[in-house]
Structure 1
Amino acid sequence: MASHRRAPQPGLAVRTTRVTVLSAAAAATAALSGGTAQIAAADPAPAAGPDTATRLDRLYQQAEQATESYDAAQERARQLRADVATLQDRAAQGQQRVNELRNELGALAAEQYRGGALDPSIALLLSDDPAHSLDRAAALDRLGARQTQQLRELQDAEKALDGQRRQAAGKLTELNRTTAELGRRKTAVQQALAAARRVLYTLPPAQRAGYVPGMGDRASRDRVPLPDLPKLPAASGRAALAVAAARQVLGSPYVWGATGPHSFDCSGLMQYAYGRAGVALPRTSQEQMNAGRRVPLDQARPGDLVIYRGDAGHVAMYVGGGRVIHAPYPGAQVRYDPVGMMPITAVTRP
């Protein structure tokens, strides 16, 4: 039985462009590559002051935007790798079919040759010279019905193979662009995080230990009081399982780009917890905001996703009692915080 393993093809040679999570895995922010780098370099050793927490909130927000941007690009790279592999397999199968058809026609030519009368049309149609493509069509008129059918099958198979090769080449080009973009995002997010760490360590130890993202802008948030949140059960059995899965990883470290099982970023934690419950969530917080039915905050139930800030750059899971569980920021661990820790954009029930 013939193998369908990918054979090296001209123009398709799979220059195994591996976008490993390791090479991409630090890559989180082209969108911020300019502004973030400036912030990182502008204040090498900021002094602690009354606005330090606000500045820290801003830096972590920028880093989180970078992380979500990286996550989206990483997911695209994963899909492109899968697409390239599929197209390569199809091209290998297409090449095998072309080879089989050419062998059949070769056998026909050999049979005619043994009879001393090789039809020149057969020789023409078996030629690899693309300049003779118009002559091929004319030659079909001089062949019998069986020969014509075989030759048309060969032409169709060659056309399909050419299309598969072009598709695979296009996907490889896009994959290379995505890989380069991930590298640029890695630099930007690292700069944003370095700036945030410098600011964080200017805080007194007690304040640093109790830091909650978003609390720096407390005055503006206090002008929008939160509704009373009733004590309600999870909206579904799967939501309850997702809450249980999130609770099991309390204390795990935040690592940007991580989806578990031992470390997480904010949207990675949601994807992991719901994955354990058999629900496939998309990768980024922006996508997760639209991955279910919107509900009012005063109707939030355990398992609902709480999306924060106007850019939908952070996501947490409501667990009841006015609290959420989330992966807050680099250097912190998965933990509980008040649901009103930052301005809420949406509540989504997957």
Structure 2
Amino acid sequence: MGSHRRLAPSGFDRGAGAAGFAVCVMSATAAALGALPAAAAPQDDTRAEVDRLYAQAEKATEAYNKADERADSLREEVGTAQDEIARQQERINTMRDALGSLAGAQYRSGGLDPSLALLFSDDPADYLDRAAALDRITAHQAGELKDLQIAMRDLAQKREEAAGKLADLERSRKAVAQNKRTVERKLAKARQLLNSLPDAVRAAYDRASRSGRADMPDLGGAVPSSARAAAAVAAARSVLGRPYVWGANGPGGFDCSGLMQWSYAQAGVGLPRTSQAQRYAGHQVPLSQARPGDLIAYRSDASHIAMYMGNGQVIHAPYPGAPVRYDPVGMMPISSVTRV
């Protein structure tokens, strides 16, 4: 975090200026502020802290999204299991009622020992036929009851396991939410520190970090790899300027992976919720072959993601306070390029 490492120069760095800070908040700031004298070291430290906090916040957001998505999935699994258990229990109750009626009829008939009933029967052959049929029915029903009871126990065990997983995920989600609140407090502190900087430095930071490129850059003549990619590109462009919102996937606001998911949803393509999962939502291509609509994952853990737009530019939801905007593709270390 907070690294000032730059990518090797390439055709994708056009317009990047001094970009290359390890997180998107600092990508445009570096270009705007340029080199500072040694006396400005405290200001560098302040911006480095903002750099670190924004990266931490973004990772926390993606972790929250992942936990929340898994919780939703488990809730569905638990609901399905409970429905199956209820249906199985209803069938078992029906079987028990039938068996109870049969037992009652047997009791009312005297419940005689089979050998005595045969002795006193007026028609021994008829008795034997009925007894054999009764044995077959009883054995069949008892077998079905046993099978249903086994199935019910299995489902109950699955329900218990799913409920346990859900409880674990709820605890995890709450922990991530708490982490987000902690990061937000740190971000507020960072903003206070930034407000203590000289006016000129603070104004340059605000221009770089909050304005971004809401205008249409020169995207060159590259074309999307497919019709769905073209539709996703158009969707992403349509929400330029929308705010970054924690855990949001549009249309009023977005986090980084939420913007990618929403844009491709407008093209009829379902993407996973997190940036880490989105990097595997298609096949990977070299950066030199990137085309509009490709997903650019950043950092080794893919904690940030953007959409390539052409001519070395991406569109993304950067961080709190910065709207959906264009930035150079080389704004921070790239971990993969995925074609959906």
TM-score range, shorter chain: 0.7 to 0.9
1:112 corresponds to: 106
Residue of structure 1 equivalent to 2:188: 197
User: Which one-letter code corresponds to 1:210 in the other structure?
Assistant: R
Contact 1:56 1:196 in 2 (8 A): yes
- Counterpart mapping for 1:127-142 below 5 A: none
For residues 246 and 318 of structure 2, the distance between their equivalents in structure 1, rounded to whole angstroms, comes to 10
Q: Distance in 1 between matches of 2:112 and 2:250?
A: 66
* Deviation of the 1:83 alpha carbon: 0.5
Aligned amino acid, residue 116 of structure 1: G
Aligned match for 1:209, one of 195, 206, 218 = 206
Paired residue secondary structure (1:257)? coil
1:267 corresponds to 2:257: yes
Query: Whose relative contact order is higher, 1 or 2, with alpha carbons under 8 Å and at least 6 apart?
Result: 2
CA 1:119/1:60 → structure 2, altered by over 3 Å: closer, same or farther? Answer: farther
Which protein shows a greater Rg? 2
Matched-pair contact (CA < 8 Å) for 1:252–1:264: yes
Which of 79, 85, 96 is residue 90 of structure 2 equivalent to?
96
Q: CA deviation at 1:48?
A: 5.9
Q: Secondary structure at the match of 1:348?
A: strand
For the structure 1 residues 102 and 170, does the alpha-carbon distance in structure 2 shift closer, same or farther, using more than 3 Å as the test?
A: same
- Residue in structure 1 matching 2:269, options 275, 279, 283: 279
What's the CA shift string for 1:126-161, capped at 9, x where partnerless?
xxxxxxxxxxxxxxx9x7112101110011011111
Aligned with residue 146 of structure 2, among 145, 150, 155: 155
1:237 to 222, 227, 234: 227
Contact kept, 8 Å, 2:297 with 2:306, in 1: the verdict is: yes
How far apart, CA to CA, are the structure 1 residues paired with 2:250 and 2:205? 26
Given that residues 303 and 319 in structure 1 are in contact (C-alpha distance below 8 angstroms), is that contact kept between their aligned partners in structure 2?
yes
Task: Name the Cα RMSD after superposition.
Answer: 2.5
Please tell me whether the aligned partners of residues 328 and 334 of structure 1 are also in contact (alpha carbons under 8 angstroms). Answer: yes
Question: Cα offset for 1:231?
Answer: 3.1
Q: Distance in 1 between matches of 2:70 and 2:182?
A: 23
CA displacement at 1:118 relative to structure 2: 7.4
Structure 2 unaligned spans of 5+: 1-40, 115-131, 195-200, 213-218
1:255 and 2:242 aligned:
no
Structure 2: how far apart are the matches of 1:303 and 1:269? Answer: 12
Distance 1:293 1:230, change over 3 A: farther
Kept in 2, the 8 Å contact 1:60–1:193? The answer is no
1:21-32 equivalence runs, <5 A: none
Post-superposition offset of 1:194: 2.3
Q: Cα distance, 1:315 vs. partner?
A: 0.1
Equivalent pairs, count = 270
The partner residue of 1:74 within 68, 87, 97 is: 68
Once the two structures are TM-superposed, the CA of residue 212 in structure 1 deviates from its matched residue by 4.3
**Percent identity among equivalent residues?**
50
Using the alignment, how far apart are the partners of 1:319 and 1:292 within structure 2? 17
Q: Contact 2:235–2:263 (CA<8 Å) still a contact in 1?
A: yes
TM-score, normalised to structure 2, is 0.74
Are the equivalent residues in 2 in contact too, given 1:112–1:119 (CA < 8 A)?
A: no
Q: 1:250 to 1:118 in 2, by over 3 A?
A: farther
Contact 2:222-2:311 at 8 Å conserved across structures: no
- In 2, distance between residues paired with 1:52 and 1:186? 25
Which of 58, 69, 72 aligns to 2:52? It is 58
Structure 1 runs, 4 residues or longer, greater than 6 Å off: none
Measured in 1, the distance between the counterparts of 2:224 and 2:43 equals 42
**How many angstroms does 1:173 deviate by?**
1.6
* SS of 1:189 mapped into structure 2: helix
The residue identity in structure 2 corresponding to 1:157 is L
SS at match of 2:225: coil
In the alignment, residue 207 of structure 1 is paired with which amino acid?
A
Secondary structure of the corresponding residue to residue 44 of structure 2: coil
SS for the counterpart of 1:331 is coil
